């Protein structure tokens, strides 16, 4: 495939409108193409039936539609969760997860191939960072899952492979495609972007007034333990992170979510719970307690009794607390388990 060919899915709607004008066509043709790509999810140029035949022929000569393909789908034996191994045009892979839970059907999107943050407990972090995904490659994951799912997608989370705020511009551009009326038309409050705590990007997200929901991975109540688990804490510690979170909630009037992956003997004692209550109590938030999905030998999931005791210690907090038992751990599709290291070898 020639690198000179134009990847239409990497354009925003406004960019498509501008591009078609450079080709001698009216801007509304760009809107039509955008709608065909995302709302209708066409796979061939010939399906763009409201475009002049001559323009379709131009597109065939100059442009490409395909950014990725489904290489493999695994479905959990015990749950309805499915994991998609997506092959990108350059031959490398990302993973995407479909999580049906009653009427709520969530898709977990990846924003990078691997991750540079090297969180000690995360399989994706062990890959290192291969590259960022383009906005089109991110949104394309949803097209693949939508074709597979028997139920309508209700929620979208940027919680797959990668640190979304390390790929900020492309992630926001992708979220805008998901939210656009002629795109997927998903409500902004049904789209959540997660970060491990990149303070400047949290502030930028607040300043730009995005309506998407924000989740922040906290995972510890002390700098010493958080720096071990998440090296990003050495750059922006808990105090700096909390200031940024306060800035976001005040600027946006939106509640954020703290994600707290709980690990046996690491961050699950009553002292941790008391410190977490104090830390999170400073922010307009809710807290998701996530029992660890085992990836590396050093960390294990606490017993259900310890998880319950930890949550009970948070009773009376100023924020809501939920326990989120991850789905699809039997196919390595749960939180922190996504990795395509093996596929990089066999796929070439």
Annotation marks residue 95 as catalytic = yes
**Environment class of 29 (CB within 10 Å of its CB; exposed 0-12, middle 13-18, buried 19+):** buried
The rounded distance, in Å, linking the Cα atoms of 196 and 92 is 24
- Active-site residue among 108, 122, 245, 335? 335
- In Å, how far from its chain's centre is CA 246? 22
Task: Give the DSSP per-residue string, 76-129.
Answer: -SSSS-EEEEEEETTS-EEEEEEEEETTEEEEE---EEE-SS--TT-HHHHH-E
Q: Which of 95, 137, 163, 259 is catalytic?
A: 95
**Size of the chain, expressed as the number of residues it contains:** 348
Tell me how crowded residue 253 is: count the other CB atoms within 10 A of its CB: 8
Both tokens assigned to 83: 């994991």
Give yes or no: 259 in active site. no
Rounded CA gap, 134 and 131, in Å? 10
- Tell the residue number behind the tokens 């730009």, with chain if given: 208
Q: What distance in Å separates the CA atoms of residue 28 and residue 34, rounded to the nearest whole number? A: 10
Spatial contact of 178 and 127, defined as CB atoms under 8 Å apart: no
- The three-state (H, E, C) secondary structure of 275-288, written as one string: HHHHHHCCCCEEEE
DSSP state of 170: H
Annotated active-site positions, please?
95, 335
């Amino acid at each position: 495939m020639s690198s000179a060919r134009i990847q239409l899915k990497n354009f925003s709607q406004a960019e498509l409108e501008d591009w078609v004008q450079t080709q001698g066509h009216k801007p509304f043709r760009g809107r039509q193409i955008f709608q065909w790509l995302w709302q209708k999810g066409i796979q061939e140029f010939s399906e763009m039936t409201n475009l002049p035949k001559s323009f379709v022929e131009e597109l065939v000569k100059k442009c490409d539609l395909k950014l990725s393909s489904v290489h493999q789908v695994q479905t959990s034996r015990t749950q309805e969760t499915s994991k998609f191994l997506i092959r990108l045009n350059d031959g490398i892979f990302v993973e995407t997860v479909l999580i049906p839970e009653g009427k709520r059907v969530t898709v977990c999107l990846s924003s990078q191939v691997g991750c540079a943050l090297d969180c000690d407990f995360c399989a994706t972090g062990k890959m290192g960072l291969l590259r960022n995904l383009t906005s089109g490659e991110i949104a394309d994951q949803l097209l693949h899952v939508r074709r597979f799912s028997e139920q309508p997608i209700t929620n979208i989370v940027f919680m797959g492979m990668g640190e979304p705020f390390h790929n900020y511009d492309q992630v926001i551009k992708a979220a805008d495609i998901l939210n656009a009326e002629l795109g997927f038309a998903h409500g902004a409050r049904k789209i959540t972007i997660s970060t491990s705590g990149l303070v400047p990007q949290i502030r930028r997200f607040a300043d730009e007034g995005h309506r998407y929901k924000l989740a922040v991975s906290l995972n510890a109540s002390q700098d010493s333990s958080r720096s071990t688990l998440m090296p990003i804490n050495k750059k922006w510690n808990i105090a700096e992170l909390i200031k940024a979170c306060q800035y976001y909630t005040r600027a946006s009037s939106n509640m954020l979510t703290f994600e707290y992956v709980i690990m046996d003997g690491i961050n699950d004692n009553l002292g941790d719970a008391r410190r977490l209550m104090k830390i999170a109590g400073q922010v307009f938030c809710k807290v998701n307690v996530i029992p660890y999905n085992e990836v590396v030998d050093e960390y294990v999931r606490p017993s259900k009794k310890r998880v319950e005791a930890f949550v009970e210690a948070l009773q009376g907090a100023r924020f809501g607390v939920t326990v989120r038992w991850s789905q699809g751990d039997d196919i390595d599709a749960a939180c922190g388990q996504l990795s395509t290291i093996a596929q990089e070898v066999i796929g070439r």
